[in-house]
A and B are shown apart, each in its own frame.
Chain A
Amino acid sequence: EPEVTQTPSHQVTQMGQEVILRCVPISNHLYFYWYRQILGQKVEFLVSFYNNEISEKSEIFDDQFSVERPDGSNFTLKIRSTKLEDSAMYFCASTEGGQPQHFGDGTRLSIL
């Protein structure tokens, strides 16, 4: 069964550094999402992306965050200048639209 893949599985970065989290959604899916889960807390919506543009973003998704679909397969989340509070599990999800979202296994981001 096709699946969403995320890399790396764990990223350790110094505070203030830029980080890029990568996702390969399921190939025929059109809608892409990033979610965040701080340790021990609920999963929170960050941003949705469709037709090569952001369709919605949450209050968490400030100017330090950006998303990109640089080619036909990858979907990336960039954090420009990381803060300690960005430490979390980041999940990518995709759907063909009107169907359940399929999630990747997540990237654990640790900011030192």
Chain B
Amino acid sequence: GEDVEQSLFLSVREGDSSVINCTYTDSSSTYLYWYKQEPGAGLQLLTYIFSNMDMKQDQRLTVLLNKKDKHLSLRIADTQTGDSAIYFCAESIRDNTDKLIFGTGTRLQVFP
């Protein structure tokens, strides 16, 4: 079946790097995504990686994909208090709909 797991909480000091991890089960994923959700707000697409890539860097964000272990991570460099939010990883399933299966979300708390 399709399942995406994340750790629930991460707390980091401002200026440090944050690493949020995700594991998934469906090997037929086409894309894997990271979305950010601030309190009471919608889902903001942060970045995504195609399933045949290992790494993608976008300014402070680095995505690593280990397809063999079905493990995805998001590294945020120089974490700021404005990065405090819930981060969801999601995989799109290779079928006729490309629906997204979301993880449980990781709440990132950045303290000064």
Contact = CB atoms under 8 A, between A and B. Distances in A.
Please say whether chains A and B are actual partners in one complex: yes
Interface in B57-112: 88, 90, 92, 95-105
A83 to B, nearest CB: 23
Contact of A33 (B45, B96, B99, B103): B99
A57 to B, nearest CB: 10
Nearest to A4: B42
A75 interface: no
A104 B104 CA distance: 20
Contacts of B98: 31, 48, 95, 97-98, 101
A2 interface: no
Q: Which of B44, B92, B99, B104 has the most chain A CB atoms inside 10 A of its CB? A: B99
B43 interface: yes
Chain B contact-residue range equals: 20 to 34
Give the interface SS of chain A, mostly helix, strand, loop or mixed. Answer: strand
A31 B102 CA distance: 18
Interface residues of A, number: 23
Given A42-B105, A91-B43, A106-B42, A101 B100 contact: yes
A56 interface: yes
Contacts of A65: none
B88 A43 contact: yes
Interface of A: 31, 33, 35, 42-45, 48, 50, 55-56, 91, 93, 95, 97-98, 100-106
18 contacts: A31-B98, A33-B99, A35-B100, A43-B43, A43-B88, A43-B100, A50-B97, A55-B96, A56-B95, A91-B43, A98-B98, A100-B31, A100-B45, A101-B45, A103-B44, A104-B42, A106-B41, A106-B42
Interface of B: 30-31, 33, 35, 41-45, 48, 88, 90, 92, 95-105
